[in-house]
Amino acid sequence: VGGISKEPPLHIVHIAVEMAPIAKVGGLGDVVTSLSRAVQELNHNVDIIFPKYDCLKDNFVKDLKLDRSYHWGGTEIKVWHGKVEGLSVYFLDPQNGLFQRGCVYGCADDAGRFGFFCHAALEFLLQGGFHPDILHCHDWSSAPVSWLFKDQYTHYGLVKTRVVFTIHNLEFGANAIAKAMTFADKATTVSRTYAKEVAGNSVISPHLYKFHGIINGIDPDIWDPYNDNFIPVPYTSENVVEGKRAAKEELQNRLGLKSADLPVVGIITRLTHQKGIHLIKHAIWRTLERNGQVVLLGSAPDHRIQNDFVNLANQLHSSHGDRARLVLTYDEPLSHLIYAGADFILVPSIFEPCGLTQLIAMRYGAVPVVRKTGGLYDTVFDVDHDKERAEAQVLEPNGFSFDGADAPGVDYALNRAISAWYDGREWFNSLCKTVMEQDWSWNRPALEYIELYHSARK
Ligand code: ADP
């Protein structure tokens, strides 16, 4: 029967430094967990090798046990095994303190710490007698797996193992990425359009023959408004209006905003240049001018940007306290309530390899308002301009988008979005239902990865 593969299950080992929910910094953490779950669900075997950070949220680790220990790199490395979201995870716990720093990133020796981790992970596989089909590594932080493996480990009984390297963001660690691209058997990035956007980059261009854009998905069980402890009323597309109304009321109460039937624009983001900081600020003022409410949840790794937003928050909370709230921390539970309670989620990125916020937004029936770049271009189809492009994907248009990286650009999309809310609530509600019913899970992309894994072994 067509479509049923006779190939035996693959054994895939991810070597990664972020993983939701135990140590998530951004989208990479979501992807490691949700891609692994999707591939495992298709009956392949998946293991993850992960640093045993002191800051792990270990209440999400089940059945944690000491598995073995070995010596390498001048230290003892204890190996713990546990289950995270149903996935098998080996935690490397070097006794030299490299992961006892209270953080994932942010140390002066990050490159050295993760380089050590990658090498230790390969050593663990070798000494443990593992023979995976695929080693999957991610971004600059586990890029060393690619060249260390080809340099030092292919000869040692790991001959059938192939390396897949995924770029989640080309912005960071270009040298490590360049080297990993050279040695990997296959390389991917997280959307077709971002793959095209970076194809001319000298780090990528020599390797286009083995480079593919595969869109990220979200895990529909982890992001599920029908089964979510952080929102007041469970909902599906059938009762989206009722569910979102309750979530909006709770959001307004929780954040001290006026309880009123107003359009709510939500923004959930790392506050960095990539995310379009000047466009975010402009959109806040434009939303207030249109008598909407705006909620921003975000934090900035750069102190100057964080301070700048603290000042903006003080200003807004005194001038528009009933309609604007900026929460300048990382807060997973609050993010759920915002996705559920907001009418719109704004993502005005300057560049965006894939973007998960717009996908999560749609799962919660919030309409995305985005800049047309990278994965945002591939997943959001403007209700006025992208009907044909959406049809080609067998989709209905699902949001509002704009091109320019300036104030008139944001205005163009945001004004149409807010007007649609004021002028045609029935139409707007049917749009919420449409976006909720679209499938942005791993269903399709996981199959593309499995095909890629197979092709790496040919
Ligand atoms: P990136 O990886 O560039 O940060 P993505 O859109 O791929 O961007 O992924 C962002 C993820 O991080 C989403 O799951 C989003 O909900 C979450 N997130 C971002 N900022 C915050 C925050 N301040 N609090 C809670 N979750 C956040």
Q: Which residue among 335, 345, 347, 362 has the greatest number of ligand 1 atoms within 8 angstroms of its CB, and so is best to mutate?
A: 335
Q: Which residues line ligand 1 (CB under 6 A)?
A: 26-27, 30, 268-270, 297-299, 330-332, 335, 354-357, 360
The protein residue with its alpha carbon nearest to ligand 1, atom 12, reads 26
**234-245 b/e (C-beta count within 10 Å ≥ 16 → b):** ebebebbbebbb
Q: Are residues 246 and 173 in the same domain?
A: no
Q: Are residues 296 and 409 in the same domain?
A: yes
The residue segments making up the domain with residue 136 are 11-218+443-456
Answer yes or no: is the ipTM higher than 0.90: yes
Helix (H, G, I), strand (E, B) or coil at 101: coil
Q: How confident is the model at residue 265, as a pLDDT?
A: 99
The protein residue with its alpha carbon nearest to ligand 1, atom 17, reads 26
Mean pLDDT (whole number) for 390-403: 97
Q: Are residues 84 and 192 in the same domain?
A: yes
Atom in ligand 1 nearest the alpha carbon of residue 356: 6
Q: How confident is the model at residue 430, as a pLDDT?
A: 98
Give distance in angstroms: CA of 347 to centre of ligand 1: 11
Cα(439)–Cα(31) distance, rounded to whole angstroms?
A: 16
Residue 2 falls inside a structural domain: no
Give distance in angstroms: CA of 126 to centre of ligand 1: 35
User: 103-152: per-residue pLDDT in tens?
Assistant: 999 999 999 999 999 999 999 999 999 999 999 999 999 999 999 999 99
Cβ neighbors of 308 (< 8 A, separation 6 or more) are none
Q: What percent of the chain has pLDDT over 90?
A: 96
Q: How confident is the model at residue 159, as a pLDDT?
A: 79
Residue 279 falls inside a structural domain: yes
Mean pLDDT of the residues in the chain: 96
| Ramachandran category for residue 332: left, alpha or beta (phi over 0 → left; psi -120 to 50 → alpha) | alpha
Long-range contact pairs involving 108-112 (C-beta distance under 8 Å, separation at least 24): 110/141, 111/140, 111/173, 111/176
Helix (H, G, I), strand (E, B) or coil at 3: coil
Q: Are residues 130 and 247 in the same domain?
A: no
Q: Are residues 295 and 401 in the same domain?
A: yes
Residue that the structure tokens 């249109």 belong to:
290
Other Cβ atoms within 10 Å of 2 Cβ, number: 3
Q: Are residues 186 and 93 in the same domain?
A: yes
Residue 96 falls inside a structural domain: yes
Q: Are residues 186 and 115 in the same domain?
A: yes
The protein residue with its alpha carbon nearest to ligand 1, atom 4, reads 26
Q: What percent of the chain has pLDDT over 70?
A: 98
Q: Are residues 68 and 192 in the same domain?
A: yes
Helix segments in 256-302, DSSP class H: 277-289
Give distance in angstroms: CA of 25 to centre of ligand 1: 7
pLDDT band at residue 169 using 50, 70 and 90 as cut-offs: very high
Q: Are residues 150 and 244 in the same domain?
A: no
User: 65-83: per-residue pLDDT in tens?
Assistant: 999 999 999 999 999 999 9
Q: Are residues 174 and 251 in the same domain?
A: no
Cα(417)–Cα(419) distance, rounded to whole angstroms?
A: 5
Atom in ligand 1 nearest the alpha carbon of residue 275: 3
Residue 82 falls inside a structural domain: yes
User: 358-370: per-residue pLDDT in tens?
Assistant: 999 999 999 999 9
User: 1-11: per-residue pLDDT in tens?
Assistant: 345 556 789 99
Pairing of strands 75-84, 87-94: antiparallel
CB distance 317 to 293 below 8 Å: no
Residue 320 falls inside a structural domain: yes
Give distance in angstroms: CA of 332 to centre of ligand 1: 9
Residue 228 falls inside a structural domain: no
CB distance 449 to 35 below 8 Å: yes
Residue 351 falls inside a structural domain: yes
Q: Are residues 307 and 325 in the same domain?
A: yes
Residue 414 falls inside a structural domain: yes
Number of domains in the chain: 2
Q: Are residues 243 and 185 in the same domain?
A: no
User: 406-437: per-residue pLDDT in tens?
Assistant: 999 999 999 999 999 999 999 999 999 999 99
pLDDT band at residue 157 using 50, 70 and 90 as cut-offs: low
Q: How confident is the model at residue 176, as a pLDDT?
A: 98
pLDDT of residue 42 exceeding 60, the answer is yes
| CATH code of the domain in which 117 resides | 3.40.50.2000
The protein residue with its alpha carbon nearest to ligand 1, atom 8, reads 27
